[in-house]
Amino acid sequence: MKTEFKELQKLQGVGEVLSRRFVETGYDTFAKIAAAGEDELKKIRGLNPRMVQSIIAQADEMAGEEHKSKEQIIGELKARVSSLKCQVQAIGLSVRDRFTGEVAGKTGKKVELGLVKIVSSLEKVEGKLGNKVKKAGKELAKAEKRLADLTGSGLKGIEKGLKKARKSLKRVYV
């Protein structure tokens, strides 16, 4: 019973009390929570109605991940890492094309160094995927989001975004 409580606490917005209430009402797995639907979950005392959709989505995702083997998850993460490398390369080409004159300046050199460092960080993350699967997944998602936000940014914005993305990746291999 205790492991069920801990397992359900992996859902964002579900603490010790709510996980106990989920189990008491018969929703002791992610699959059962995902299948319950909004109306059923809103009946649980203490559950914020605004969090119900988020909890269902998280439970659905985690229920799908329970059936995957660790090798499959690592394979998916490696694919995400290579996708990020391609994205970083595209950012580099975009910077070169959009900021032709500014690339030779101080900020341009910082962006270039940032691109090299982020590729290096991605390679380090790829080496640690076997040990820190869950952490790598979360931090890769953050890095993907930060890199996606850089498409319309200026040179300074790109420099800051690269630093933030690298900081996320650093949490995996440190």
Q: What are phi and psi of 74, to 5 degrees?
A: -65, -40
59 and 142 housed in the same domain: no
Average pLDDT (60-81) is 80
Element (H, E) at 20: helix 16-24
pLDDT at 137: 85
50 and 82 housed in the same domain: no
82 and 155 housed in the same domain: yes
Quick check: 68 pLDDT over 80? no
CB count within 10 Å of CB 59 equals: 25
pLDDT at 70: 75
Query: CB burial class (10 A; 0-12, 13-18, 19+) of residue 140?
Result: buried
61 and 83 housed in the same domain: no
Cα–Cα distance, 17 to 82 (Å, whole number):
40
Confidence of residue 81 (pLDDT cuts 50, 70, 90): very high
Average pLDDT (94-111) is 87
CA 47, distance to chain mean position in Å, is 25
pLDDT at 66: 62
The number of distinct structural domains making up the chain is: 2
What is the SS3 assignment for 143? helix
| pLDDT, tens digit (0-9, with 9 covering 90-100), for 120-164 | 999 999 888 877 787 888 889 889 999 888 878 888 999 999 999
Over pLDDT 70: what percentage of the chain?
Answer: 95
* CATH number, domain with residue 12: 1.10.150.20
pLDDT at 100: 84
31 and 77 housed in the same domain: no
78 and 133 housed in the same domain: yes
The overall pTM is greater than 0.75: no
Q: What is the DSSP letter of 102?
A: G
Average pLDDT (22-32) is 88
Domain carrying residue 153:
70-173
pLDDT at 3: 67
Mark which of 27, 48, 66 sits at the end of a domain: 66
